Amino acid sequence: MRKLGLYSVVLAALLVGGCTQKSVQVDSDASSQGYQETSKLDAIDSLDMNFVSGFKDGGDWRNDRVFETMIDGKLVRLTSLYFPFDKFHLTPDMVTRAKDNSSSILAIGRDVKITLEGNTDEWGTDEYNYALGLKRANTAKVALVADGVNESTISMVSFGEGNPVCTEKTRECWKMNRRVDYKVLP
């Protein structure tokens, strides 16, 4: 009986010791450092207007991502939405951005297929981050539908933490990964 108790204690110690947490070092100068990523589409204005769609990085502190494509001769420009840590609600500035995206989609004048890609930072479990990414995508979908976009043309996907635009271990970098990207499908 004592051996069984001893084995139980050893087994419990092994199980508890096997569950480690992620160790992340935070750069103390993170707020003063800006993340800069060179855009693959910096020369978008010089391209022929029959270009294929893609993302272009913008210029504010978040290094905003802008999806641009031509549909029926019209340039459609959709900007990513960003979210606070561990949240899926829109802040007032993101509500304005969501309305701008809705206006751009409605200006096309026909039902286009849209994919909303929910993303998170690296904090949390994989399962939690996939669920949070889906909630963020759903928030963007609700905003589009409220503005008059046809719900049946919107699809959602969550990449969780699997699609980062920044991989540095800084607060500014993590902010850029908490987002929903818009894509217009052909």
Q: pLDDT band for position 166 (50/70/90)? A: confident
pTM score of the predicted model: 0.61
Q: What is the pLDDT of residue 12?
A: 56
Residue 13 clears pLDDT 80, i.e. is over it: no
Q: What is the DSSP string of 77-123?
A: EEEPEE--TT--SPPHHHHHHHHHHHHHHHTT-S--EEEEEEE--S-
Give 80-185's CATH code, choosing from 2.30.29.30, 3.30.70.580, 3.30.413.10, 3.30.1330.60. 3.30.1330.60
- Helix axes of 92-106 and 126-146: crossing angle, nearest 10 degrees: 60
User: Mapping DSSP to helix (H, G, I), strand (E, B) and coil, where does residue 126 land?
Assistant: helix
Average pLDDT over residues 167-184: 81
At 59, the pLDDT band (50, 70, 90 cuts) reads: very low
**To which H or E segment does residue 69 belong?**
strand 65-71
Question: Structural domain boundaries of the chain?
Answer: 80-185
Residue pLDDT, tens place only, 14-53: 555 555 444 333 333 333 333 222 232 233 333 332 323 3
